[in-house]
A = this chain, B = another copy of it.
């Protein structure tokens, strides 16, 4: 059996196999931020209390994941089997998250933090394969990355290889990881430290730098 922590897979995937995997993952990844943002919105309406800035970060996360998906979609043509799997998984995952978020936002954010950790790991492995030349098309510096990605991340000229794109995406996942682990440690009506004025002026928390998130005392004044 393959060691799941292995950064080098025993049998590398092809580009087409990678795309199946990434499209499937990203079609699921866009769900939690939307569920959490929606439930906090409804809760703010119902309790008639401010949300303190969480909703915008959560919805932004779900939008960002959707852009990951649409980027990879530009490189693949999923068949009916995959489409069916994606629809079924969305149904299961949406309902499961809806329930767990109602029961415990804390546990759900922690869980999402771990999923994002897995995503960082997956993209790190992909970068390794690209660097070693295991994926001839994607290792080619002239491989054209999709226009939608160039616009969304504003990729500068000379930074438009597949390797560059995957590094941008991995950085996004590292943000999600740090944000969700941090939110998991906060009280539900604490301000979102990633949009609020930070207690120590000029020292905004940076979720990328904190793989396991910030402790509450570090970000709530």
Chain A residues with a Cβ under 8 A of chain B:
23, 27, 30-31, 34, 38, 41-42, 44-46, 48, 50-51, 55, 59, 62-63, 66, 69-70, 73, 78, 83, 86-87, 90, 94, 148
Considering the complex, give the chain B residue whose CB is closest to the CB of A33: B41
Considering the complex, give the chain B residue whose CB is closest to the CB of A56: B63
Instruction: Out of B45, B90, B94, name the residue touching A66 (CB < 8 Å).
Output: B45
| Chain B residues near A86 (CB-CB < 8 A) | 45-46, 48
| Chain B residues near A62 (CB-CB < 8 A) | 41
Minimum Cβ distance to chain B for residue A54 (Å):
13
Considering the complex, give the chain B residue whose CB is closest to the CB of A87: B46
Instruction: Out of B27, B30, B48, B148, name the residue touching A69 (CB < 8 Å).
Output: B48
* Copies held by the complex: 2
In addition to A31-B42, A48-B78, 12 A-B residue pairs with Cβ atoms within 8 Å of each other are A27-B48, A31-B45, A34-B41, A34-B42, A38-B38, A41-B62, A44-B70, A45-B66, A45-B69, A48-B70, A50-B70, A51-B66
Contacts A27-B48, A48-B23, A59-B59; A42 near B73 (Cβ below 8 A): no
CA distance A70 to B46 in the complex (A): 11
Minimum Cβ distance to chain B for residue A63 (Å):
8
| Chain B residues near A38 (CB-CB < 8 A) | 34, 38
Instruction: Out of B45, B90, B148, name the residue touching A42 (CB < 8 Å).
Output: B90
Minimum Cβ distance to chain B for residue A64 (Å):
12
CA distance A70 to B43 in the complex (A): 12
Residue pairs across A and B with Cβ atoms less than 8 A apart, 9 shown, are A31-B45, A34-B38, A42-B90, A44-B66, A45-B86, A48-B69, A48-B78, A50-B70, A51-B66
